[in-house]
Homo-oligomer: A and B are copies of this chain.
Amino acid sequence: MDILKERILKDGRVAKGGVLKVDNFLNHQIDVKLYNEMGKEFKKLFDDVKVDRILTIEASGIGIACVAAQYFDVPVVFAKKAKSKNIDGEVYTSTVESFTYGKSYDITVSKKFILENENVLIIDDFLANGKASLGLIDIVKKAGANVAGVGIAIEKGFQDGGKTLKEMGINLHSLAVIKSMDDEGNIQFED
């Protein structure tokens, strides 16, 4: 998706530790017009699959998923990371090893909100080693639902998350796949 790639080149920054900073348009400050274009693009890419529900994970996935859901006309559910009084009853849980936060955490979705045999499209902002996506896929499978696909804003193609998901037969579409990036700030995309 050209406008996303152009925006990454214009406003993205490679920080120490292999972190791509896109906090001025994607995951701290948010350009909602760009989210809308991304939502339209996800709809195009997943137009041939049945989608009953969009599943994402707090926090950065929520805005992308909500804006995209307008084009799919389906509800969004977001997996929660923290235990709270606001989630009770029966839940599906999976453990995710986080690259960003440097530790593992549990993600939780109420059993009420993923139904058996539903077709669930997973949407998230980043795909690197794939741990968050694998946690969400795990939850969809525990619910007896189908993974309609995984839609990602930015995939780090030089990490193995994309390969892992494709080997599992997941219908993966990433709007921008980074082939390489270095500490000098050079970013290259896959075609």
Contact = CB atoms under 8 A, between A and B. Distances in A.
Interface of A: 15, 17, 19, 21, 23-24, 27-33, 35-36, 58-59, 62-63, 65-67, 69-70, 73, 75-78, 80, 82, 84-88, 100-102, 109-110, 112-113
Contact of A84 (B30, B35, B100, B110): B100
Contacts of A101: 82, 84-85
A28 B87 contact: yes
Contacts of A86: 19, 21, 23, 27-28, 100
Given A21-B86, A30-B77, A66-B66, 8 more contacts: A19-B85, A21-B88, A28-B78, A28-B87, A30-B66, A30-B76, A62-B63, A85-B100
Number of copies: 2
A112 B69 CA distance: 29
A28 to B, nearest CB: 6
A78 B88 CA distance: 26
A31 B77 contact: no
A186 B75 CA distance: 27
